[in-house]
Amino acid sequence: MHPYFSQEVPYAGLIQSSVRADFLLLDGDTPGGPMTSAEHSPLTRKLSAFVALSEAELAVLERLHQRRRTFAAGRDMVHQGQSDQAAYILSSGWVCSYKIQPDGTRQIVDFQVPGDFLGLRSVLLRTSDHSFEPIVTIEAAEVLKSDLLAAFAQTPRLATAILWAASRDEAMVVEHLVGIGRRDADARMAHFLLELGSRLALVGIGSKDGYDCPLTQYHLADALGLSAIHVNRVLRQLREGGVVTFRDGHVTIHDHDRLVDLAEFDPAYLDQTGPLLK
Amino acid sequence: MHPYFSQEVPYAGLIQSSVRADFLLLDGDTPGGPMTSAEHSPLTRKLSAFVALSEAELAVLERLHQRRRTFAAGRDMVHQGQSDQAAYILSSGWVCSYKIQPDGTRQIVDFQVPGDFLGLRSVLLRTSDHSFEPIVTIEAAEVLKSDLLAAFAQTPRLATAILWAASRDEAMVVEHLVGIGRRDADARMAHFLLELGSRLALVGIGSKDGYDCPLTQYHLADALGLSAIHVNRVLRQLREGGVVTFRDGHVTIHDHDRLVDLAEFDPAYLDQTGPLLK
DNA sequence: CGGCTTCTTGACCTAAGTCAATGCTTGTGG
DNA sequence: CCACAAGCATTGACTTAGGTCAAGAAGCCG
């Protein structure tokens, strides 16, 4: 296939095992010391926006972050082994989850940014059927099934909050489906950039005016169901139109209103209406 | 206040249930032998294909079907009221769940066929943000939140089974996303028809050679992210190619192998590998 | 009957894909 | 310190899958 064809991924990506994830471990020496409330993890930040957590609950949540690990960019970390009963809480870096088609094309289903869970479902229910790839070198806290269930049993409200986050993730997948099915390339891109901005703002990364974003145009293409070349054209148009600039790993929003308008962006599905559970 | 948060957390118990289910599994707890599912509800049939349920569990399951209701075709039944804490088990007829865009186009996210849950998520987690429309007059059993949670508490293995079904539904949404993003119209259609056939076969409707299907070409268009006119063209091609005929509310599969080939259909995501919890 | 909805087909158009070529970095080995 | 490769980004020229428009046809139903 043509080297420019973005959907191609190396065959090596198809044969990872849960064991190999351990090989990718670069260091395990970062002891997750107790955090002061000033330096809460992104997940804590995210959940706190919706559920007012007590001191005890916060403590349990922070304790879930103890087993810190680092994964190198580019190599898949997959959760499909019955043996691997762990999920991860992403504390820094970006990950994408995707499925490969038999013909080699790939579709990115979702991105994970700091504060997001990775493989939560494979712990609570059955094994996940798609793969995870760190986009940059990431830091994540490993959460064992037993830890998670224990935490849930101790603090039911925490369970509620985490399940709320999982449910929100699912709503994003549905919105993604709608976007690919019924929005043109420009609107899709605009919508995507807005959603990302919204998610990042929730964990205190970036602002209304923009955010750092390590994705390549190939990532965008595979996520939005477009070709990388068309992604480039769309980005140029948005840039020259003075709406938004995606360049050098940074998204700069010049005209937020016009972007929202273009995307017909209605953030209702993100359910970000402020702290609800007092 | 958000309906999701309006009640004290029920999930702790739910999660506990699934833990206990695993325990029972490991214990080798032997439920009653397989029984003829002919007289059972579609949901029972479906779950029985994956989890060997005991007499007691079957009884609880059947009891969930008591509050039977009928809904006329075409008129939306939406679940977003705080007051409406019910889900439905579809026992006959077809439903679609969809989202409307601000510009009036709609994207069908999923179809529900007999044996499927409707609005399960809005009971267990938060309110669903999309609408449901019965495609034909349907019969459904209303399940109150309290009933469901009681059933889960009584029979943890049933909880596992139902959550498995929910998880499978989600995998179908993801596969749907992949299809719209990365398959051309023919493959999308082929894949869709095969998935439907597979789902229906699971509840004893239809066979390898075909099944009844009340969808219009407009439904197909809205589900597959195509125009109705193109759906018509694709169907004609498939029909004239001797692969599959969609006509007069019936799908007839002439060449199953070629259809699978066209769709690059890999049913792995449907997780239909036979009874798993013995 | 006349008004629905659904299906069908042809003619034409456009958004997006494909092909091909060119820079621009960044990293790496000689 | 250069050469050279690899990965991204960019752009123009051309092709095509699928959308849009228009017009019937074929039921079906009050």
Burial B121-150 (b: 16+ CB within 10 A, else e): bbbbbbbbbbbbbbbeebbbbbbebebbbe
A51, closest residue in chain B (CA to CA): B5
Mark which residues 69-108 of B lie under 8 Å from A by CB.
Answer: 99, 101-103, 105-107
Q: pLDDT value at position B44?
A: 94
Contact A106 B182 (CB under 8 A): yes
Q: pLDDT value at position B127?
A: 58
In terms of average pLDDT, the best of A207-211, B127-131, B190-194 is B190-194
CB of B230 within 8 Å of a chain A CB? The answer is no
**SS3 state of residue B49:** coil
**Comparing B13 with B128, which gets the higher pLDDT?**
B128
Nearest-5° angle of CA B3, CA B9, CA B10?
105
Is 50 exceeded by the pLDDT of residue B155? yes
The answer to whether A202 and A217 have CB atoms below 8 angstroms apart is: no
- Which of A107, A125, A224 has its CB closest to that of B163? A125
Contact B182 A125 (CB under 8 A): no
The answer to whether A213 and A254 have CB atoms below 8 angstroms apart is: no
CB of B183 within 8 Å of a chain A CB? The answer is yes
Provide the mean pLDDT of chain A.
82
Cα–Cα distance measured from residue B94 to residue B115, given in angstroms and rounded to the nearest whole number: 10
Contact B107 A271 (CB under 8 A): no
Contact A152 B15 (CB under 8 A): yes
Q: pLDDT value at position B125?
A: 63
Cα–Cα distance measured from residue A90 to residue A138, given in angstroms and rounded to the nearest whole number: 7
Provide the mean pLDDT of chain B.
82
pLDDT band for position A15 (cuts 50, 70, 90): very low
> Over the stretch A78-88, which tens digit does the pLDDT of each residue have?
654 444 667 89
In window 222-261 of B, residues with CB < 7 A from nucleic chain C are: 228-229, 232-233, 235-236, 247
Cα–Cα distance measured from residue A178 to residue B110, given in angstroms and rounded to the nearest whole number: 11
Is 90 exceeded by the pLDDT of residue B39? no
CB of A67 within 8 Å of a chain B CB? The answer is no
Is 90 exceeded by the pLDDT of residue B272? no
Q: pLDDT value at position A24?
A: 29
Q: Which nucleotides of C are covered by protein (CB under 7 A)?
A: 5-11, 15-21
The answer to whether B97 and A177 have CB atoms below 8 angstroms apart is: no
The answer to whether A127 and B273 have CB atoms below 8 angstroms apart is: no
Cα–Cα distance measured from residue B263 to residue B211, given in angstroms and rounded to the nearest whole number: 18
Q: pLDDT value at position A127?
A: 58
- Element (DSSP H or E) covering residue A70: strand A68-71
Which residues of chain B lie closer than 8 angstroms to A159, CB-CB? 9, 11-12, 15
Which residues put CB within 7 Å of chain D, the nucleic strand? Answer: A 4, 216-218, 228-229, 232-233, 235-236, 247; B 184-186, 225-227, 229-230
The radius of gyration computed from the CA coordinates of chain B, to the nearest angstrom, equals 19
A262 CB less than 7 Å from any atom of strand C: no
Sign of CA dihedral B207, B166, A167, A13: negative
| Complete domains list, chain A, with CATH | 11-156 (2.60.120.10), 173-270 (1.10.10.10)
- Between the CA of A194 and the C1' of C17, what is the distance in angstroms? 26
From residue B265, alpha-carbon distances to B22, B86, B261, B262 in Å are 31, 35, 7, 8
Residue B250's DSSP bridge partners are B212, B247
**SS3 state of residue B248:** coil
A:B CB pairs within 8 Å: 124
B110, closest residue in chain A (CA to CA): A174
> What angle, rounded to 10 degrees, do the helices at A217-224 and A228-240 form?
110
Cα–Cα distance measured from residue B88 to residue B77, given in angstroms and rounded to the nearest whole number: 11
Is 50 exceeded by the pLDDT of residue B139? yes
The answer to whether A79 and A122 have CB atoms below 8 angstroms apart is: yes
Is 70 exceeded by the pLDDT of residue A180? yes
